[in-house]
Structure formats: C-alpha cells, structure tokens
Amino acid sequence: MEKTIKQWLSRMKQQLGNKVRSMEQNSAQETVMLVEKTELPDVCYFLWHEKKGRLFTMVGNDERDIHGFFALYYVFSFDSFRHFITVKTLIDPLDPTFPSVAVQLPAANWYEREVKDLLGLRPQGHPDPRPLILHGDWPEDLHPLRKDFPLDRHAPRVQSREAFMPYDSEDVTEIPVGPIHAGIIEPGHFRFGAVGDTILHLDARLFFTHRGLEKASEGMPLEKALFLAERTCGVCALSHSTAFAQAVERLGEVTIPPRAAYLRTLFLELERLYNHIGDVGNVCAGFGFAVGVSQGARLKETLQQLNERVAGHRYLRGVVRLGGVRIDITEREKEEIAQTLAYVKKEFQELVDLLFSHDIAMNRMATTGVLSLEHANQLEVVGVAARASGRSVDIRRDQPYAAYDQVSFHVPVYEVGDVLSRVRIRVDEVLESIAIIEQLLHSLPSGDTFTPLPPLPPYRSAMGWCESPRGETVHWLMVGPDQTIYRYRIRSATYSNWPAVPLAVKGNIVPDFPLINKSFELCYACCDR
Amino acid sequence: MKSEKEQTADLRWTLQKRMKEVLGRSLHIRHVDSGSCNGCDFEMNTLTNPIYDIQRFGVDFVASPRHADMLMVTGGVTRHLEEALIKTYNAASEPKMVVAIGACACGGGIFGRTYANYGGVDQIVPVYVYVPGCPPRPEAIIEGILLALKRYEQLSRNKGEKMH
C-alpha cells in the first residue's frame, strides 16, 4: 500500500507538472501541494474530477504573523488510498483575491463565501456574491477572523445587503418562514417561491446561531478548547470532541491505548443510537403520526438515561480527554449496556414494523424529497443523506479511526434518495450500531485509558475526523508556539448537507417541507458555529 | 429515600398544584433559540416525551409568543438573533416571564462575549429566572418553571394584585 501511494503521488506530480511548486508529506496520511493561486482552480478540479478526490474541507488562515501571507487549504480525501491531498496556496495581503474554485466545483461554494466574509479573501468569479456567515448588516470591510480583529469587538449595523431571489411572475407566491419557528427548533429563515402548493424554489438563510466559536478558540489552551469543541453541537457533542482530540493527537503523533480507542467507539455508537432512534421517531411528526413520535422519544430517553448512568452525561459530554477517555466502564456497566440495548432493539423493531406497514406513513415518505446521486456527488453530501442517494461514503470505513478497524460492520446504501430511503438508512444503521457495540463489549481490551501528550509542533496543521450521526465531521487544527490554538476550523456534516436541501424540496408541496427537512435532520448550531 | 422516578413524579404534581395556585390556569411557553448549541433545546423537547410529559399537567409549548405566558430562551444571544429575540419579547403577553435556560443563556457560557455573541439573555431583555446547566436536566427546567411562578407570585403580591 505504502509503495502504491508513493507511485500514485509521483505520477500525479508528473501529470500536474509545473503547476505544483512543491509537494511534501505533512503526516503519514496527508500530502500538501503548494501551488500559485492562479493554478488553484486547475489543480483542485484535476484532483476532484480526474482523480475522484472528495472535497473534505477548506480552510482559510491568517498567517501574516508567521510569514506575511494569508493561506488557503483545499483538502481532498482519496478514500481508496486512505490518503488526503491538501492544495495550499498563499495569498498576498496587498491583493487579497483568488480565482474561485466553486465555478467548476460546486461543493466549494460555501467555503469560499465563508473566507470572503471572515477573512476578506475575495473569490474572483464566484457564482454567488452574497454574504453567508455574517448577515447583510455586517460592515463589508470588517473581517473577524483576521488576527488584528479583537474577539469582542461589536461592529455597527449597516444598511443590509441581504438579497433573495426575486420572482418575476405574479403566479409565484413568496412564503417567508422563520428564523423563529413554531416548535422547539433551531433558527433558520426559509423563503419559498411556490406556485399553488408546489415549491418552485427555496432560498435558505442560515448562520443565525453564528457565535464566533472559531475566533473564540484562538489563544485557548487545548484542554479548555476541548470543552468548546464538544459544545459545537448538543447532540453530536461526542463526535465533535472526538474529532478535536484526534486532531490534537495526530499533531502530537500519539496513539491512544487500545482500551481508550474501544471506549470511544462504544460511546460514539451510543451517540449514533440515541440520535437515529430519536430521528426515526421525529420523522413521524412530519405526517402527524403521534404514536411513532412518542415511541421514538421514549426509546431515545431510555438511551439517554443509559448514557447518564454509564458516562455521567445524557449527551455524553466529558467522555473524551486529550490522549484518551475520561470515563472507563465496569463489568456491571457492560452488562447494563447489553441489557438496555437488547430491550431497545426489540422495542425499536416494533416501531419500525408499525411505521413501515402504515399505508399513510409510507405514502408520505416514498418519492418525497428526492436528492439525486448527481447532486449528492456534486455537493459532496455526506452521512445518511449521501447513503440514501446511492453515494457510499462512511468515514468509519473509509478512513478508520478509534477502533473501527477492529469491528466488522455493513454500510447500508439505498439508491432512491427520498425521505423513505433516509429513514431506512437510519433503521439499518441502528441495528448495525447495536451489533458494533456487542462486538466491542465482547472484545474490550484491558489497560490504560489515556496517553500523556508531548508538546505540539507550532504552525503545523492536523485534522481529526468522525462520522457523527449526521455524517462526516472534520476538525482542522493549527497550534501556536505557546501551545494554544492558532486556527481551528470545524466542518460539520450539516455544513456539507445544507446546500442539498433546497435541491431536494424542489417540485414537492409546501406541507412536505417539514417532513423533508426532518429526514435530513440537519442541525444549525454546528453549521453556524 | 424516594427513588428518582418518584421524585420526578412529585415534581410534576407540585408543578400542577403551583400552577393552579398562582395562575389559576394552564401555562403556555414559547421557546426562543437565541444561538444555543441545541442541547438545551433538546432537553426542553424532552419535557414533552412520554417520560416527563408535562403537557399532561397543563404546560404547553405554543407556536406564537402572543399565546405565551413565559419565554424560555436558550443560547447567549447572537448578533443575528438579537432582533428576533426583541421582537418575540415585545410580542409576548404580560407578565413576560423570561426563563434563561442553560449556561449560555445565563451568562454566555464557554462562548462568552464575541463579535457575534452578546454573552447572555439579560444583555438584551430582562430575565425572570436563570436555570444553569450544560444542558440543564429536564427536572431542573421544571424547577425553573416553579421558581418563575414563585417570583410572579411575590411580584403580584407586592403590587397588591389579586392573584386570579
């Protein structure tokens, strides 16, 4: 494998010729290509289109203190080689522009709008010039992620530059919804262009819960930043803390003890379980099927109470520590987990049988909110939504972490891409998760639960990743010389998946939107940060 | 000593009793997410599941602030949600009992004060009761409602108003 990766990389270098200025290994799993900014679109398109790399994340960084330039990192994942290639380019502060990659690579769209808002690096030729992270009333010339912008500076509100798609025809009704919704839901603003009941077009205005998390992390000691990381999202807390801890451990070139790896895997699957079961129940709210909602909520509560008894927290916060885990489990707790899961499995199966044999439920779910494979691939959709559309990505299998290479599991894939497929994926994955946990409990190794960390090298980057219940999550980290965070970028699954929702609702009726939205089950907090 | 289950049951009966004493009717709550991580939101949702089921005791989460006696606010108020929070507050009917749910709503939490976050609900609207926790457990949220009722009772008494 090592040899083939080397050959594959050197062949790639040949094909790209003088477009690549230098190529160096950042870690065993990551190679960095330095390119001139003018070559950026060509090189990225080559890696994505010719070499079939997935756009994994993109990070903009103010490195003027280090070498006088801004830097952009486009990271591509090559799952079959279990390798990442990062395309890096430096941008002169005197000309803070770069040619947009999003023109050819739609998945880069949001990332480039983000670096424009937060760092003031302008993508030339970008198809959508509207602000993204900062709303229209933020002054256009202030960029909070620049190092010279103080963390707590409150900018004045200016005349809003906000714009929604105007509709020419009088037959199109504009329906604005949110940001505050009717239930206990997170805030987002949706604007439907509808003809009668049918949705012609949807514009989503997000990032209402943007808290400035990444900026707040800068200068923070790593131990404290772990707490910040696990508060990125309430219900994927463990996925985020694991991804952050893995980034730190990769930077320190530390391998965590086998018992810690197994325990992380165990708790990560418990996180997936309570989420997936709760989500299957919640989908039922999309068509007023109260029995399903209640049963889902009851089983979710059963699992969260198990979390609390075993890990001390209903949302599994505080489980991970840098270098391992904080929570160990006893033989009695192993028994308790096994018993609770046996109960949940039986009850969940009853709920699923009820749901899938209910004509009205099936009728509402089937053929509703179809996301095509083509769109899923172009937007680099991840997680449940990807697998329901025939796109087989699961970072647990593709780039294994924790103890996922020690257990066997099947990654379900459906082709249709409708609400029903997304529900089916969750149902299948619940059973897979229970099977994974059974294997882990059976073969849990003894030994230490953490390894101390060495001092971390400054100004080098590392990534940690995790398949959260919503899909692949990536944390990109750079540490400064004082062992505090220099730059931290979180790319959650929802960040990748939100742009797909407007495509999936097109042609559906307005009353089906809540159902479609629930089937994607995207959260706002980790997307907005 | 009573089991955890019995304690939760007691808490809910107390809630019903106190609502009758103080309000003489049911309690309607409107939720506002002012920039939370959604952990607190999910714990509020938990209150309506079959285990806690506070709807059975006359508490409901309503769709409009105009129908609400109480606002439960989660999150430390982001710049982008300031306007929505103020509008919701203004639209709510008296006595506008604002309950700040969770560490972020109480004082900014780990995010604190940033260019995008005000760091606490009381920076923007007056708060009746603070319920700390990250997130607070469902029982703590019920306790928060009880505290708000107590505060309402005291304030009404001070004003010399008849209760209901």
Nearest CB partner across the interface for B81, out of A187, A213, A294: A187
Q: Tell me how many degrees the CA angle A209-B87-B53 measures, rounded to the nearest 5.
A: 70
Minimum CA–CA partner of A153 in chain B: B115
State the sign of the Cα–Cα–Cα–Cα dihedral A142, A232, A515, B85: negative
Do residues A380 and A310 share a domain?
yes
CATH of the domain at A474: 1.10.645.10
How many distinct helices (H) and strands (E) make up chain A?
19, 15
Residue A3 has pLDDT above 80, yes or no: no
Per-residue burial over A202-227, b = 16 or more CB atoms within 10 Å of its CB, e = otherwise: bbbbbbbbbbbbbbbbbebebeebbb
What residues make up the domain containing B75?
Answer: 26-158
Inside any domain, residue B3: no
- What phi and psi values does residue A33 have, to the nearest 5 degrees? -105, 125
Which among B66, B73, B82, B110 is the top mutation candidate for probing chain A, defined by the most A β-carbons within 10 Å of its own β-carbon?
B110
- pLDDT above 70 covers a percentage of chain A that reads 100
Is the residue at B13 inside a domain? no
Q: Is the pLDDT of residue A75 over 70?
A: yes
pTM attached to this predicted model: 0.94
Predicted pLDDT of residue A345? 96
Look at residue B65 and tell me if it is in a domain: yes
Q: Within a domain: residue A116?
A: yes
Nearest CA to A232 out of B79, B38, B117 is that of B38
**Token output for B141:** 């949220």
Quote the CA–CA distance of B76 and B85 in Å, as a whole number.
11
Written as six digits, the tokens of B86 are 């103020």
How far apart are alpha carbons A93 and A62 in whole angstroms? Answer: 9
pLDDT at position B153, please?
A: 87
Q: Does B72 fall in a domain?
A: yes
* A233 inside domain: yes
Residue A522 falls within a domain, yes or no? Answer: yes
For A335-389, write each residue's pLDDT tens digit. 999 999 999 999 999 999 999 999 999 999 999 999 999 999 999 999 999 999 9
Q: Which residues of B touch A207 (CB under 8 A)?
A: 80
Each residue of A429-471: pLDDT tens digit?
999 999 999 999 999 999 999 999 999 999 999 999 999 999 9
Cα A403 to Cα A385: distance, rounded to the nearest angstrom: 24
User: Rounded to an integer, what is the distance from CA B19 to the centroid of its chain?
Assistant: 14
Q: If you write DSSP's letter for every residue of A168-196 in order, what string do you get?
A: --TTPEEEEE-SS-SSS----EEEEEEET
List of chain A residues whose C-beta atoms are within 8 Å of the C-beta of residue B4: none
B164 pLDDT exceeds 80?
Answer: no
Residue range B9-17: mean pLDDT, rounded: 86
Instruction: Looking at the structure, tell me whether residues A126 and A269 fall in a common domain.
Output: no
A242 to chain B, closest Cα gap in Å? 17
Q: How confident is residue A495, by pLDDT bands cut at 50, 70 and 90?
A: very high
Is residue B99 situated within a structural domain? yes
Strand, helix or coil for residue A405: helix
Q: Do A226 and A323 share a domain, yes or no?
A: yes
Token pair for residue A268?
């990560």
Q: Which amino acid is at B1?
A: M
Cα B130 to Cα B100: distance, rounded to the nearest angstrom? 5
Residue B44: give its domain's CATH number.
Answer: 3.40.50.12280
What pLDDT digit, counting tens, does each position of A282-292 carry?
A: 999 999 999 99
Q: Is B14 within the bounds of a domain?
A: no
Question: What's the mean pLDDT when you consider all of chain B?
Answer: 90
- State both tokens at B26: 């049911």
Q: What tokens does A520 get?
A: 């994607």
Q: Which of A89-93, A140-144, A158-162, A327-331 has the lowest mean pLDDT?
A: A158-162
Please determine, for residue A2, whether its predicted confidence score (pLDDT) is greater than 70. Answer: no
Q: Are residues A134 and A219 in the same domain?
A: no
Q: Which whole number is the average pLDDT over A426-431?
A: 96
| Cα angle, residue A314 at apex, residues A186 and A514 outer, rounded to 5° | 30
| Average pLDDT estimate for B148-156 | 88
Q: What is the pLDDT of residue A446?
A: 93
What CATH code is carried by the domain that includes residue A63? 3.30.460.80
Q: Identify the domain boundary among A79, A114, A149.
A: A149
A36: which DSSP letter? -
In a domain, A170, yes or no: no
What pLDDT, on the 0 to 100 scale, is given for residue B162? Answer: 55
Residue A1 confidence class, pLDDT cut points 50, 70, 90: low
Give me the residue from B41, B43, B135 closest to A186, CB to CB. B41
Is residue B33 in some structural domain? yes
Tokens of A482: 């004082």
Burial grade of B146 (CB within 10 A; 0-12, 13-18, 19 or more) = middle
Residue A47, pLDDT score = 93
Residue type, A27: S
CA distance to partner chain A, nearest, from residue B130 (Å): 19
* Contact call for B111 and A232, based on CB within 8 A: no
In a 13 Å sphere around the CA of A2, the CA atoms on its Cβ side amount to 2
Q: What is the mean pLDDT of residues B66-72?
A: 92
Structural domain boundaries, residue A485: 211-526
* Residue B163 reports pLDDT greater than 70: no
Provide the number of structural domains found in chain A: 2
Identify the band that residue A183 occupies on the pLDDT scale cut at 50, 70 and 90. Answer: confident
Task: From chain B, pick out residues whose CB is under 8 angstroms from the CB of A162.
Answer: none
Inform me whether the pLDDT recorded for B160 exceeds 80. Answer: no
Do residues A450 and A245 lie in contact, with contact meaning Cβ atoms separated by under 8 Å? Answer: no
> Which chain B residues are Cβ-neighbours of A237 within 8 angstroms?
37, 39
- Per-residue confidence band for B121, with pLDDT thresholds at 50, 70 and 90: very high
Indicate yes or no: CB of B32 within 8 angstroms of CB of A180: yes
Decide if B9 is inside a domain. no
Residues A289 and A372 in one domain: yes
- Terminal alpha carbon distance of chain B: 36
Q: Which of B43, B50, B75 sits opposite A209 (nearest CB)?
A: B75
How far is it, in rounded angstroms, from Cα A67 to Cα A53? 29
Q: State how far the Cα of A123 lies from the Cα of A125, in Å rounded to an integer.
A: 6
Q: How many CB pairs under 8 A join A and B?
A: 136
- Single out the residue in A149, A168, A199 at which a domain terminates: A149
Distance CA A513, CA A350 (A): 27
* Burial of A238 per CB tally in 10 Å (0-12, 13-18, 19+): buried
Instruction: Count how many domains chain B has.
Output: 1
